[in-house]
Amino acid sequence: PCPAVSLRSALVLRGSYEAVLCEIKTLIVSQVSLAEEPDALYQKLTVRVKGHDRSVLDSYEFFVTLAAGELGLKLEKACEPPKHTDKLALLKSVHIFKKHHVQYETRTHQRRIEVSRVTGSSARVYLEYIQRNLPEGVAMEVIKTSAEKIPEHIHTPLWDECRRQR
Amino acid sequence: MAAYITHPALSSLSKINCNINAIYCFISFSRRISISSNVLSTSAVTTESEAAGRGVRGQRRSKRQAGEPRTERMTVDQDWTAVYPTAASFKPSTVPLPVRMGYPVKRGVPPAKKGNLELMKIPNFLHLTPVAIKKHCEALKQFCTEWPSALDSDEKCMKHFPIQVQSKEFVSAGLSLQNPDARIVTLKVKLSSLNLDDHARKKMIKLCEERYCKDTDTLTITTDSCPLRQQNYDYAMYLLTVLYHESWVSFGTNVAWVCFQRLNITPFFHFIWFLMRREVITTPRLHGNMLGYLWDTFS
């Protein structure tokens, strides 16, 4: 029976809160279905995060590493590449006083987290979870390295078949 | 009753009105007093402080006093995921921690959490405690799949899946959500894993020019000419296919190749090259400039 019908029937027949809750749970579980196409294989998944606040990135790294561990993904490394600083020297005064400048700087901290040997479904779940909980003011870059088989049309050269046909 | 209550608003009203006209002033004065008395009688229960803060109009809503903060009623073993289920700003009355943040002015202490803007500005991870993360992952685990156990090392991966396709995704806030670098696709493959014979391999290397790295025996194809990532991926696979099949093509050169191989007359060829000089022989095109191709393969 289709899931919508069973939920409606649960509401009508039983009407109790616990019954409806377990019907919803079965709904969620029944929505996990296997697709026909094979799962993609990612040899490496690199997540790079950049932000202006180091403590925010510290907390985010803790969250990312714990989430990877809980979902059963293998964490290769979680390192901190050196920060990038943009410096700017401007005139302190509105008019004249060239000898007096004021210096500003923008610090961009970054983190690099590498997860190895992930399937396509797990990668999609993990990345969506990570990206939904990305804090304000933090940017992310994901580099996916997928491993693929040689396609069938590259196995043997075309000219051999042409010669055989002649 | 109204006559005995001396309200500052009333007194000011009476002053203004009496200046205009005597009769008009008398009527308006009485009317205004009656209206104001109604107001006073309805709000007779209000406290002194609120009466003092009332405006000229006298019809402002009374402000409720804030009750005790929620932290007073919190137990130590409560479910924190119910207090902060999603990302929310820092609320001092909801977080039972004695947090202080800010610059200690005049060698003092950092300001307390009540009304602290610094604590509200910074993104907090109160909704992502280890307990909460474990709960989320428990619910998400059913959508994950396991890595095949037979491919536990990198060498086995490369043996069965020799082609590596690299692409990037970006998440950031800005004027535009799109990032033009997201469409770039890089395809890496080792020539040793492709079905190439000696001649085809050398022709392939010649066709690839700088995309081939001799040390790692890797061919790298980077495509960014199409607007979508899927299109760039298809183009990269198309280039690989074309390179492969063209490297097996050998019209005029194959006979000469076989002759040179069997008769083993490489010194003769070197002599010819020396005679003709290097500048005359150009880089071979797809179907092969015979001498140039021979020079490249033998030198």
DSSP letter string over chain A? --HHHHHHHHHHHT--HHHHHHHHHHHHHHT----SSPPPEEEEEEEEEEES-HHHHHHHHHHHHHHHHHTTPEEEEEE-PPPEEEEEEEESSSSS-TT-EEEEEEEEEEEEEEEEEEEHHHHHHHHHHHHHTPPTTEEEEEEEEEEEPPPGGGSS-HHHHHHHH-
pLDDT digits (tens, 9 = 90+) for A95-117: 999 999 999 999 999 999 999 99
User: Does B182 score more than 80 pLDDT?
Assistant: yes
Dist. CA B116–CA B233, nearest whole Å:
51
CB < 8 Å to A157, chain B: 195, 200, 244-245, 248
User: Which pLDDT value is given to residue B124?
Assistant: 92
The residue-averaged pLDDT of A33-46 equals 86
The confidence band for B138, taking pLDDT boundaries of 50, 70 and 90, is very high
The confidence band for B57, taking pLDDT boundaries of 50, 70 and 90, is low
CB < 8 Å to B160, chain A: 149
Task: Name the percent of chain B lying above pLDDT 90.
Answer: 37
User: Does A93 score more than 90 pLDDT?
Assistant: yes
Q: Which of A10-14, B153-157, B174-178, B284-288 has the lowest mean pLDDT?
A: B284-288
Residues within 8 A of B (CB atoms), A 81-110 only: none
CB < 8 Å to A72, chain B: 141, 144, 146
Q: Which of B1-5, B109-113, B169-173 has the lowest mean pLDDT?
A: B1-5
CB < 8 Å to A135, chain B: 123, 125
User: Does B171 score more than 50 pLDDT?
Assistant: yes
CA distances B291 to A3, A51, B226, B245, B269, Å, are: 72, 58, 37, 22, 9
pLDDT digits (tens, 9 = 90+) for B73-88: 999 999 999 999 999 9
CB < 8 Å to A68, chain B: none
Position with higher pLDDT, B246 vs A18: B246
User: Does B192 score more than 50 pLDDT?
Assistant: yes
Q: Is B200 on the interface with A (CB under 8 A)?
A: yes
pLDDT digits (tens, 9 = 90+) for B258-268: 555 555 555 55
User: Which pLDDT value is given to residue B127?
Assistant: 95
| Cβ-contact B229, A144 below 8 angstroms | no
CB neighbourhood size of B128 (10 A): 21
> From the list A59, A127, A158, which residue is nearest B125 (CB)?
A59
User: Does B252 score more than 60 pLDDT?
Assistant: no
| Cβ-contact A158, B248 below 8 angstroms | yes
> From the list B141, B152, B189, which residue is nearest A71 (CB)?
B141
Q: Is A132 on the interface with B (CB under 8 A)?
A: no
| Cβ-contact B233, A146 below 8 angstroms | no
Grouping H, G, I as helix, E, B as strand and the rest as coil, residue B165 is: strand
Q: Which of B57-61, B170-174, B235-239 has the lowest mean pLDDT?
A: B57-61
User: Which pLDDT value is given to residue B200?
Assistant: 85
Residues forming a β-bridge with B42:
none
- d(CA A87, nearest CA chain B) in Å: 22
Position with higher pLDDT, B286 vs A166: A166
Q: Is A117 on the interface with B (CB under 8 A)?
A: yes
- Computed from CA positions of residues B222, B224, B226, B227, in that sequence, does the dihedral angle turn out positive or negative? positive
Residues within 8 A of A (CB atoms), B 224-253 only: 237, 240-241, 244-245, 248-249
Greatest mean pLDDT range, A155-159, B48-52, B265-269: A155-159
Predicted model pTM: 0.69
Q: Is A63 on the interface with B (CB under 8 A)?
A: yes
User: Which pLDDT value is given to residue B22?
Assistant: 47
Q: Which residue of chain B comes nearest to A60, CA vs CA?
A: B125
- Cross-chain Cβ contact B122/A53 below 8 Å: yes
User: Which pLDDT value is given to residue B4?
Assistant: 43
Tokens of B281: 């022989």
DSSP state of B124: -
Position with higher pLDDT, A11 vs A62: A62
User: Which pLDDT value is given to residue B251?
Assistant: 56
User: Which pLDDT value is given to residue A161?
Assistant: 57
Dist. CA A108–CA A14, nearest whole Å:
58
> From the list A131, A144, A149, which residue is nearest B161 (CB)?
A149
Q: How many CB pairs under 8 A join A and B?
A: 142
The confidence band for B5, taking pLDDT boundaries of 50, 70 and 90, is very low
| Cβ-contact B211, B243 below 8 angstroms | no
Report the greatest alpha carbon distance in chain A.
88
Going by their DSSP bridges, the two strands A138-148 and A41-51 should be labelled as: antiparallel
- Cross-chain Cβ contact A135/B162 below 8 Å: no
Please give the domain boundaries of chain A with CATH numbers for all domains: 13-165 (3.30.70.600)
Dist. CA A72–CA B146, nearest whole Å:
8
| Cβ-contact A117, A147 below 8 angstroms | no
Dist. CA A135–CA B171, nearest whole Å:
11
Position with higher pLDDT, B9 vs A160: A160
The residue-averaged pLDDT of B125-152 equals 92
Q: Which residue of chain B comes nearest to A31, CA vs CA?
A: B143
Q: Is A161 on the interface with B (CB under 8 A)?
A: no
Q: What is the mean pLDDT of chain B?
A: 75
CB < 8 Å to A154, chain B: 194-195, 240-241, 244
User: Which pLDDT value is given to residue B37?
Assistant: 46
pLDDT digits (tens, 9 = 90+) for B197-243: 888 888 888 888 889 999 999 999 999 998 999 999 999 998 888 88
Interface test mutation site (partner A, options B121, B165, B171, B247, max chain A beta carbons within 10 A): B171
Q: Which residue of chain B comes nearest to A155, CA vs CA?
A: B195
Dist. CA B213–CA B205, nearest whole Å:
9
The interface predicted TM-score (ipTM) is 0.76
The residue-averaged pLDDT of A153-165 equals 66
The confidence band for B27, taking pLDDT boundaries of 50, 70 and 90, is very low
CA distances B193 to A155, B7, B59, B155, B157, Å, are: 10, 97, 86, 12, 12
- Cross-chain Cβ contact B245/A117 below 8 Å: no
Position with higher pLDDT, A34 vs B67: B67
> From the list A70, A154, A158, which residue is nearest B133 (CB)?
A70
- Report the length, in residues, of chain B: 299
- Cross-chain Cβ contact A144/B193 below 8 Å: no
> From the list B128, B143, B240, which residue is nearest A133 (CB)?
B128
Greatest mean pLDDT range, A7-16, A49-58, B34-43, B246-255: A49-58
User: Which pLDDT value is given to residue A66?
Assistant: 96
> From the list B123, B128, B194, which residue is nearest A154 (CB)?
B194
pLDDT digits (tens, 9 = 90+) for B94-125: 999 999 999 998 999 999 999 999 999 999 99
- Cross-chain Cβ contact B244/A157 below 8 Å: yes
User: Which pLDDT value is given to residue B267?
Assistant: 52
Dist. CA B186–CA B166, nearest whole Å:
5
- Cross-chain Cβ contact A32/B142 below 8 Å: yes
Tokens of B190: 């080792």
Where helices occur in B22-178 by DSSP H, the ranges are: 22-42, 48-53, 80-83, 117-121, 130-140, 154-160
